[in-house]
Chain A
Amino acid sequence: MGIEAQFQKVEEKLYQNRYLVDAGQPHIKIAPHEKPSKNLLAMTHLCPAGCYTEAESGQVELAADGCLECGTCRVLCEESGEITWNYPRGGYGILFKFG
């Protein structure tokens, strides 16, 4: 059994949640980059919703649909300009059933 097998996939965790996705309007965007900073690369591990992935070419990519709006990436990567962070439009995004 590989190390990964002992962990539940993040997508499976997100599957329990309720979202209203603002299609085509991601509230977080990554600026084009050659090589990601240490913090941006760390987001591929840190993001609790697994929104950040490292592409084979070495750049970091983002799919914000499952975002839990915690703000961790904003704390680590907004100041440097690597990402822009906004709230989703009112009513969109994660809708916690319990919270």
Chain B
Amino acid sequence: MIEEKFDAIVIGAGMAGNAAAFTMASRGLKVLQLERGEYPGSKNVQGGILYADMVEKIIPEFRNEAPLERRLIEQRFWLMSDNAHTGMHYRNDDFNEEKGNRYTIIRSQFDRWFAKESQAKGAILLCETTAVELIRDGYGKVIGVRTDRSGGPIHADVVVLAEGVNGLLGTRAELRPRPQASQVALAVKEMHFLPAEVIEQRFNIKGDEGVVIEAAGTISKGMAGMGFIYTNKESISVGLGCLVSDFAENQTSPAQLLDLFKKHPSVAPLIAGSEVKEYAAHLIPEGGYNAIPKLFGEGYVICGDAAQLNNAVHREGSNLAMTSGRLAGEAIFQIKSRRDPCTAQNLSLYKKLLDDSFVIKDLKKYKDMPDLLHTQASNLFLTYPQLVAKAMENFVRVDGTPKIEKEKNTFSSFRKTRGALGLLGDAVRFARAWR
């Protein structure tokens, strides 16, 4: 039973929750953090890529202490047909710097470290504790939470809802809607273990260097989705995700889709002989700007995946989560240090800080992309990848056909499949959504 009242209760020990807890605890606020897992990270799943800049803004010296897997020096984009991939590989020696720009991480390790940093600053962390209900006063203001532990409610001036995409508290209190099937992707992932030197040979890297492959095309069977292959120190994360609405419409098994991806002739050799040690599934918020709920109210703020803060186009999520948690923490600290109450009006400072950051600016830029990906899924993920693969084959295969004829074949295959107007329309729609 916890009698004392806290400045803030943080729900969740993921990226957003840990950033909020650290930011507030390191500024002297009394913080209680609740985590339903056995340890921070035990319920969290990510590809996962960590973007250094956003961590540095919270813990500048994290590179010396945080459990990092590999420093990413190469990014590969693959457009996939059933038997081929057409790729763009970007390797820049400028990325090969000591202070890397991005790293692969394993969430159960990283989250545990991050939460320990907050504890070192004075935050109290309660694991194996599921928050089951928000407590509100007679005016509707959030004043605390009830947990599944024995004892009464725990009170605080403000509750930071960093409960993840599938969090129940905010939805039950009608502070945010339950995610819609067209606004979330279901991703499945396996951890394939191999000796470090085998990974380094197969991906042409050395030391702590790492490679990321993002793949789209026929692997998602015409659904809006992507596959990924990330190198860790001694393992490779292989996964694939598609919109839940597409999965439902197509009655497709994600586990089988992942098996097919692993058997693709471009993927199989990379993971051959590996030992799989875990199979995970998780939802990813993909609704973009238009799916963001109200971010604050009387006595609460919403951060991270719970607020749909995820950039589906750039595959960025943890950095948006972390930044939103930090900004929520900074806003609450400012309010508390003025001795002001955590009213909706005062907490609107959090939204203002977030609006001025890359988080909302980036999501606004791509606000029309989710709709486009949803309505044009079969063209973007099935038709074009097949056309591109055919075009590449025409270009590369030497078989005595005059080049002029090969080019004609390529152009007519595009025109026949999508029509001249269809091609133009697709280009315009895509350019508009990207703008």
In the assembled complex, A33 has its CB within 8 A of some CB on chain B: no
With a cutoff of 8 Å between Cβ atoms, the chain A residues found around residue B244 in the complex are 46, 72, 75-76
User: From residue B283, how far is it (CB to closest CB) to chain A in Å?
Assistant: 5
With a cutoff of 8 Å between Cβ atoms, the chain B residues found around residue A16 in the complex are 276-279
A7-B255, A97-B108, A98-B278 known; A75-B38 Cβ under 8 A: no
**C-alpha spacing A38/B247, complex, angstroms:** 12
The answer to whether A46 and B276 touch across the interface, beta carbons within 8 angstroms, is no
Q: Which candidate, B40-48, B138-146, B326-334, B409-417, is the interface stretch facing chain A?
A: B40-48
In the assembled complex, B254 has its CB within 8 A of some CB on chain A: yes
User: From residue B388, how far is it (CB to closest CB) to chain A in Å?
Assistant: 26
The answer to whether A75 and B148 touch across the interface, beta carbons within 8 angstroms, is no
With a cutoff of 8 Å between Cβ atoms, the chain B residues found around residue A57 in the complex are none
Q: Tell me the nearest residue of chain B to A86, going by C-beta.
A: B168
**C-alpha spacing A42/B246, complex, angstroms:** 11
In the assembled complex, B337 has its CB within 8 A of some CB on chain A: no
The answer to whether A89 and B252 touch across the interface, beta carbons within 8 angstroms, is no
Chain B interface bracket (under 10, 10 to 19, 20 to 34, 35 or more): 35 or more
**C-alpha spacing A91/B129, complex, angstroms:** 7
Q: Provide 25 A-B residue pairs closer than 8 Å at the C-beta atoms, listed in order of the A residue.
A: A7-B256, A16-B279, A17-B278, A17-B279, A42-B248, A46-B254, A48-B254, A69-B43, A70-B186, A70-B281, A71-B179, A75-B178, A75-B179, A75-B283, A76-B244, A76-B248, A89-B148, A90-B36, A91-B127, A96-B42, A96-B44, A98-B191, A98-B235, A98-B280, A99-B46
Query: Which chain A residues have a beta carbon within 8 Å of chain B's beta carbons?
Result: 6-8, 10, 13-14, 16-17, 20, 38-39, 42, 45-46, 48-50, 68-72, 74-76, 78-79, 85-91, 93-99
Query: Which chain B residues have a beta carbon within 8 Å of chain A's beta carbons?
Result: 36-38, 41-46, 106-109, 111, 127-130, 147-149, 165-166, 168, 178-181, 184, 186, 188, 190-191, 235, 244, 247-248, 251-256, 259, 263, 276-283
